[in-house]
Amino acid sequence: MTTDPADPPATPAPTAADPAEPAGAPVEAVSCTGLTHTFGDTKAVDGLDLAVRQGEVFGLLGPNGAGKTTAIRCITTLLPVPAGMVRVFGHDAAKERMGVRRLLGYVPQQLSADSGLTGRENVALFARVFDVPRRERAARVDQALAAVDLADAADRLAGTYSGGMVRRLELAQALVSAPRLLILDEPTIGLDPIARTGVWEHINAVREATGMTVLVTTHYMDEADQYCDRVGLMHRGRVRALGTPVELRRGLAERQGTETLPTLEDVFRDIAGSGLDDNTGGGFRDVRSTRRTARRVG
């Protein structure tokens, strides 16, 4: 398949010779133990334990201010790991930052595409930054653009793209290095339902072709229910419930003794209680930055 951006792979396939991946049980794609990150008096991430299995789509869910972005930024090595341990395919995020970065593609919550460059130029920039070998770059940029259905629009300025196209461009940027782990922070925020579906279809097509692991944050519970193999419900800096969407929904139905299956949103309300409605997390900074992103992609 010529449109597969992971073909040929940029990162070496795991082998028994990789000291971080001993033979036997596969290491987790992401493992956080006791991860804590504090801003001033705010414990954004507070003893987070999290394990993402290889090949799964894992959804980290929670309201604004739950600590999702901070946790993601520690996993991507953009923030340090002040307390606890973060490993990506066995590599320590505190000690092997470049080793971790080479394994992952990242679509940040804030926009990462430059509106003054064409789609192709944006993706090419990421190919350079992420060390795609020079000889392979042009072909790999083409493949990544084709994988997200932007081949025809590749030479237009990104500033002329619709919100859904911008998000797909960012996906191409993250995919050009053929990551083993794709991390997306609120990839569909501010998009209409059709554009949201489009983003997910492209993620899933690449995943099926490559076996890539996906870690995604969202506060759209319906989306997580539909697309995630497992979800972790995060509230006040920690994962409070973990399982497949159906497991979590059945669990609540059993606790409540109801026949009809509750939604993931119901599960979240049950776990977070009134804490979901108060404003202890989040606050103005989150609302403002969320709106800004929504406006720019919308």
Q: Is 286 in the site for ligand ADP (CB under 6 A)?
A: yes
What's the number of CA atoms in the CB half-sphere (13 Å) around residue 109? 21
Indicate the residue among 62 and 198 with the shorter CB distance to ligand ADP.
62
The entry of Mg ion, ligand ADP, none near residue 76 (CB within 5 to 8 angstroms by kind) is: none
Smallest distance from Mg ion to CB 68, Å:
5
**Which of 32, 35, 44, 86: binder of ligand ADP (CB under 6 A)?**
44
Closest to ligand ADP by CB, 122 or 188: 188
Q: How far apart are CA 178 and CA 181, in angstroms?
A: 9
| Member of 42, 112, 162, 244 binding ligand ADP (CB under 6 A) | 42
Query: Could you tell me how far CA 22 lies from the centroid of its own chain?
Result: 26
Pairing between strand 230-235 and 238-243? Answer: antiparallel
From the CB of 102, what's the least distance to ligand ADP, in Å? Answer: 24
Task: Identify each DSSP E strand in 12-90 by its residue range.
Answer: 30-39, 42-52, 57-61, 83-88
Longest dimension (CA), the chain: 61
For the chain, the first-to-last Cα distance in angstroms comes to 32
Q: Are 47 and 238 in contact (CB under 8 A)?
A: yes
Query: Residue 232 binds what, of Mg ion, ligand ADP, none (CB under 5 to 8 Å, by partner type)?
Result: none
Calpha distance 42→183 (Å, rounded): 24
Q: Is 7 exposed, middle or buried (0-12, 13-18, 19+ CB in 10 A)?
A: middle
- With respect to Mg ion, which residue has the nearer C-beta, 62 or 245? 62
Interatomic CA distance for residues 8 and 11, integer angstroms: 9
Which of 11, 31, 36, 69 is close enough to bind Mg ion by CB under 5 A? Answer: 69
Question: Using the rule CB under 6 A, is 184 a contact of ligand ADP?
Answer: no
Please work out the total of residues on this chain that contact ligand ADP, with binding judged by CB under 6 A: 16
| Residue selected from 31, 69, 118, 210 as contacting ligand ADP according to rule CB under 6 A | 69
285 binds ligand ADP per the rule CB under 6 A: yes
CB of 276 to ligand ADP, least distance (A): 12
Q: What is the spatial distance between Cα 229 and Cα 89, in angstroms, rounded to a whole number?
A: 19
Q: Which of 6, 11, 29, 62 binds ligand ADP (CB under 6 A)?
A: 62
Residue 281 site contact among ligand ADP, Mg ion, none (CB < 5 to 8 Å, cut-off depends on kind): ligand ADP
The residues that touch ligand ADP, with contacts defined as CB under 6 A, are: 39, 42, 44, 62, 64-70, 281-283, 285-286
